[in-house]
Amino acid sequence: MNILPGQINGHNDLLEKKHRRDYQYLENKLTDDGHDTEELVRKIKALQVAIPSWALGTGGTRFGRFPGGGEPRNLEEKIGDIGTLHKLNRSSGAISLHIPWDIPDDPKAILDLAKDNDLVFDAVNSNTFQDQPRQAHSYKFGSLAHTEEAIRDRSIAHNLEVIKYGELLGSKSLTVWLADGTCFPGQQNFRKAFMRTLESLQEIYAGLPHDWKMLIEYKPYEPNFYSTVIQDWGSSHLLAGKLGNRAFSLVDLGHHLPNTNIEQIVALLIMEGKLGGFHFNDSKYGDDDLTVGSIKPYQLFLVFNELVEGIENPALSNPTPAWMIDASHNVKDPLEDLLQSVEAIKIAYARALLVKQHELEEAREQNDVVKAQELLQNAFRTDVRPLVAEARLRSTGALDPVGMFRELAIRQQLITERGHKTISTGL
Ligand code: LRH
Ligand code: MN
Ligand code: MN
């Protein structure tokens, strides 16, 4: 889908008058409040959120799948779709590949295509949770934690192969998420399974290029329903600590039991310099993979408040984490959903930038609970949408990305190009 700059300008021209009014109002308010709006716009412009190659099609559930048509049929078309998102919002400039769902058969051509679309390759993800056609060993009872050495070796080799693909594309990190675990009490020796995982990860770590990171994702349940080997941030952090200074924990918002205080986990991982990556989504019950910010926007803001404070704090030295959306779309158009998700992330980030960290710290020192809450909620209740729109406008994006997606009838064009019955690889 080729969107011409002239089309974006035309769209923006129609909306700019109203936008100017809204932005002026907010700019005055923020300036009166002591904020540097130019600095805010600069920071929002710089935020880039990677799009996973598996989120561009309709996900479905184990009960059914209702494809919307025009889904990308190969990696090239996926890159095209992310390029479209990036043209519209100028904040989706990275792609995260899942191997073997998206093997770059011709890495040079894939790299060129990504460049043409102004995209870079973020973390590469390994997949040892699904058996592939003609695979000799099965992951039914695990992969890196498996009791059989041959299966562990196969899983290690797969991860090393994923790193090789990543190197060809300029990725700088490997994300490992394991489904390893059990469905019934007694099935597994917890300590032995954990130690086998550590030893397997050590072999992968030994093959990690020096300028790469290993990101270790945790999840309490699913697809295993009694235990997961890397069930929580404690297990992930334990592994990262034992592996070395290029191993980090990765927080996926959906991978927590209901009501877990995720912002507190984020604060402690940053304190330890061990927060390596983030998977954004939202959920009501578990790993629902819903649109970011659609259920718990205040939690998202509180998480961003920790991220902003932690990453900007000169006393701490956590590297900037890899940001990625990790979602599954059952009823919405995946591209519209991703535009909404990126927007929600930028809104939460912009609001977190408004928190007066020094005053908040002072209120905390004085145990002024009411003041602390006021400071957080004043920022959260500010309508920052004009600020986010201004950042997008200055980056040559569309003032209303979802609106423009519909005005240009992008989905209809993709259906004409690719057909109604297309199935994208992924979740
Ligand atoms: C697991 C997960 C993990 C996978 C992706 C497909 O639930 O969040 O990040 O790699 O979904
Ligand atoms: Mn995830
Ligand atoms: Mn998940």
Q: Which domains does the chain have, with CATH numbers?
A: 48-351 (3.20.20.150)
pLDDT in tens, 309-361: 998 899 999 999 999 999 998 899 999 999 999 999 999 999 999 999 999 99
Residue 94 in contact with residue 171, Cβ under 8 Å? Answer: no
DSSP-assigned letter for residue 66: -
Cα angle: 20, vertex 351, 380; to 5 degrees = 110
The closest alpha carbon to 203, from 129, 245, 152, 168, belongs to 152
**Ligand 3 centroid distance, CA of 222 (Å):** 9
307 and 294 in contact (C-beta within 8 Å)? no
Residue 108 is encoded by which pair of tokens? 């040079």
pTM to 2 decimal places: 0.97
| CA 164 to each of CA 157, 204, 208: distance values in angstroms, whole numbers, following the listed order | 11, 12, 9
| pLDDT for position 8 | 97
Rounded to the nearest angstrom, the distance between the alpha carbon of 288 and the centre of ligand 3 is 8
| Best of 98, 159, 177 for a ligand 1 pocket test (most atoms within 8 Å of beta carbon) | 177
Measured distance CA(227)–CA(219) in Å, rounded: 10
What pLDDT sits at residue 427?
Answer: 66
Q: Is the ipTM of this complex over 0.85?
A: yes
Q: Whose CA is nearest to atom 5 of ligand 1?
A: 326
Cα(44) to ligand 1 centroid in Å equals 27
Which secondary structure element, helix H or strand E, spans residue 297, and what is its range? helix 297-312
pLDDT of residue 2: 83
Any residues with Cβ below 6 Å from ligand 1, and which?
54, 125, 177, 217, 219, 252, 279, 287, 326, 427
> pLDDT tens string for the chain (427 positions)?
789 989 999 999 999 999 999 999 999 999 999 999 999 999 999 999 999 999 999 888 888 888 889 999 999 999 999 999 999 999 999 999 999 999 999 999 999 999 999 999 999 999 999 999 999 999 999 999 999 999 999 999 999 999 999 999 999 999 999 999 999 999 999 999 999 999 999 999 999 999 999 999 999 999 999 999 999 999 999 999 999 999 999 999 999 999 999 999 999 999 999 999 999 999 999 999 999 999 999 999 999 999 999 988 999 999 999 999 999 988 999 999 999 999 999 999 999 999 999 999 999 999 999 999 999 999 999 999 999 999 999 999 999 999 999 999 999 999 999 999 877 766 6
Among 128, 180, 230, 252, name the best residue to mutate to test ligand 1's pocket (greatest count of ligand atoms within 8 A of Cβ). Answer: 252
Residue 384, SS3 per DSSP: coil
**Closest ligand to residue 55's CA:** 1
Q: Ligand 1: which of 51, 215, 279 to mutate, judged by most atoms within 8 Å of the beta carbon?
A: 279
What are the C-alpha distances in Å from 95 to residues 26, 246, 287, 308, 345? 33, 21, 22, 23, 16
Query: Interior CA angle at 396 toward 87 and 41, to 5°?
Result: 115
Contacts of 299 (CB under 8 A, 6+ apart): 262, 263
